[in-house]
Amino acid sequence: MDFQQLKSIIEGLLFLAGEEGITMKQFVEVTEQRKELIADAIEEMRANFKQEGRGLQILQIAGAYQLATLPEHAPYFERFAYSPSRSSLSQAALEVLSIVAYRQPITRVEIEEIRGVKSERAIHTLANRDLITEVGRAEAIGRPILYGTTKLFLDYFGMDSLADLPELSQVEGTDQLEEETDLLFQKLDQEKQLSFEDVTAELDHSEK
């Protein structure tokens, strides 16, 4: 393969690897190219990103390369994450959230194995909204990130602790995922209904 094709492949691999990143050893194994050539390609990509004013950069963290946004753009990302149009959770995000809630700690790969589809975007959404967070690293190749729920998750669903999660029946596979998601939906709807009733009661009390 030529040098430009190698850079294109590296960019794609970085995108797929997400926040877990990809090591030089993995680059070599996947591309079947020399370490020195891959390193040169990455350095040239870094320089090109900076020269072209791209919104991404390539970082090396804990021995793994990953794509990352620019720190100076953080205010825009925060505004996007908390914009009113993003106030409700999508079906995909709620599915991921239910998996994390019931099966934490859990890795991204394990989440995707359960759902059968890529889940990185939903994970990022939930992490940006502080509903899930990194709780450790799995004892596996690459030390993948383990995710768990946060205190805000409990507040969001009106629970004191994870012991308040709705109980599951004894089902397996996809049916269990559907049940987990449905129960979380019901819990959220219940919390919204309680909030509405609290506001109504407060208004009635003030009118009296």
pLDDT number for residue 186: 66
Write out residues in the chain with pLDDT < 70, as ranges.
Answer: 80-88, 168-177, 181, 184-208
Rounded to whole angstroms, the Cα distance separating 205 from 123 reads 42
Q: pLDDT of 66-80, one tens digit each?
A: 998 888 888 887 776
Query: Distance from first CA to last CA of the chain, Å, rounded?
Result: 79
pLDDT number for residue 125: 87
Contact residues for 100 (Cβ-Cβ < 8 A; gap 6+): 106, 111, 126, 132, 147, 148, 149
pLDDT number for residue 200: 37
pLDDT number for residue 52: 92
- In order of 64, 65, 86, 198, the CA distances from 12 in angstroms are 15, 12, 27, 50
